[in-house]
Amino acid sequence: MSAAVITPTELAVPRDGPWRHAGRRLVRRRAAVFGLCVVAAMVGLALLAPWIAPFDPLATSFALVRKAPGSTHWFGTDEVGRDLLSRVIWGGRASLAAGVISVAIAIGVGVPLGMLAGYAGGWLDAVVSRITDAMLAVPFLILAIALAAFLGPSLSNAMIAIGITGTPIFVRLTRGQVMNVRAEEYVEAARAVGNSPARILLRHILPNILPPIIVQATLAIAAAIIAEASLSFLGLGQQPPAPSWGSMLNTAQRFLTQAPWMALFPGLAIFQTVLAFNLLGDGLRDALDPKAT
């Protein structure tokens, strides 16, 4: 019945979906593509660490203490003779896992709370918003340090601390987005035909507010990687001897005069990964939100 209404020309030219359209816009941005490639490479290295790393990241050797970069040990060795390249590759696992898992925690808690607050309004919104304000009143890293301090130093506690600290940003973002689209006609229509609030939120509102959340998530991963490195640098994240970029920098500072390469490579690894996520995030913002540019 409805097929009769569609003309053959319309069938021949399929309408381009918004996501595919955004994908094409993203690919046109060289910086974003570069960011995406670096992120993909770092994720690949981290996943394949056991096969790619040339040496055991924990194997010490008195004969190899603080050797400068060379043909066998490309990044040199550390104060107990461990291969730095292998440690940087393995350290990527901790950093990327911390970035992704802590942001997943922040999204998992923040987005549902923000959607509830934005859609329900009233006292629920007031309570959620005040708690969000209070959490945002404490500077990011200081709250993360305090949480990590009370939870106890470990990589998983650092992820929890960063995740909790990052939650209010997602609550506020989602709440604002939901309030924007709540009055839109398609939401009204969905309500008028008798959809339940849960269905309206998940099927009608969520897909429409997803783009800014994706952009924020990408930039939040960059911030979370720096935060994990910071906590590990302070001794509150990954515990030795397990490698992480932050804790490697902590040790490196003590050997700055004798072995500066110990500080160079883990720092470059953090910089490059964070830069890549920032480039990707900026590119995604341009691609997903044409109004912003």
Partner 1 sequence: MLKFLPRRLLQLVPTLFLVSVLIFGLQQLLPGDPATVMAGEEHDPAVIEQIRKQYRLDRALPIQYLYWIKGVAEGDLGESMRIKQPVSQLIATKLPVTLQLATMAMLFAIVIGIPAGVLSAVKKGSAWDIGANVFALWGISTPNFWLGIMLIFLFSVQLGWLPASGFVSPFEDLRQSIAATVMPAFVLGNAIAAVLMRHMRSAMLQALGSDYVRTARAKGLLEHVVILKHALRNALTPVITLGALEFGALLSGAVLTEQVFSIPGFGKLIVDAVFNRDYAVVQGVVLVTATVYVLLNLLADILFILVNPRLRD
Contact positions vs partner 1 (CB under 8 A): 130-131, 133-135, 137-143, 145-152, 222, 226, 229-230, 233-236, 249, 252-253, 256-257, 260, 263-264, 266-267, 270-271, 274-275, 278-279
Instruction: State the virtual CA torsion across 166, 167, 168, 171 in degrees, nearest 10.
Output: 140
Q: E strand or H helix at 156, and its extent?
A: helix 155-182
Q: Tell which residue, 122, 96, 102, has the closest CA to residue 43.
A: 96
What is the closest distance, in whole angstroms, from the C-beta atom of residue 278 to partner 1 in the complex?
5
What is the closest distance, in whole angstroms, from the C-beta atom of residue 177 to partner 1 in the complex?
21
Q: Based on CB atoms, which residue is closest to partner 1, 31 or 242? A: 31
Q: Tell which residue, 178, 285, 290, 270, has the closest CA to residue 228.
A: 270
DSSP conformation letters of 158-222? HHHHHHHHHHHHHHHHHHHHHHHHHTSHHHHHHHHTT--HHHIIIIIIHHHHHHHHHHHHHHHHH
What is the closest distance, in whole angstroms, from the C-beta atom of residue 201 to partner 1 in the complex?
26
What is the closest distance, in whole angstroms, from the C-beta atom of residue 36 to partner 1 in the complex?
15
Q: Based on CB atoms, which residue is closest to partner 1, 58 or 141? A: 141
Nearest-angstrom CA–CA distance, 82 and 142:
32
Specify the 3-state DSSP secondary structure of 83.
strand
Specify the 3-state DSSP secondary structure of 143.
helix
Q: Based on CB atoms, which residue is closest to partner 1, 142 or 202? A: 142
Q: Based on CB atoms, which residue is closest to partner 1, 108 or 260? A: 260
Q: Based on CB atoms, which residue is closest to partner 1, 91 or 201? A: 91
What is the closest distance, in whole angstroms, from the C-beta atom of residue 93 to partner 1 in the complex?
18
Nearest-angstrom CA–CA distance, 151 and 106:
17
What is the closest distance, in whole angstroms, from the C-beta atom of residue 246 to partner 1 in the complex?
8
What is the closest distance, in whole angstroms, from the C-beta atom of residue 147 to partner 1 in the complex?
7
DSSP code for 77: B
Q: Based on CB atoms, which residue is closest to partner 1, 65 or 151? A: 151
Q: What is the CA radius of gyration of the chain?
A: 23
Tokens of 202: 């998940």
Q: Based on CB atoms, which residue is closest to partner 1, 52 or 234? A: 234
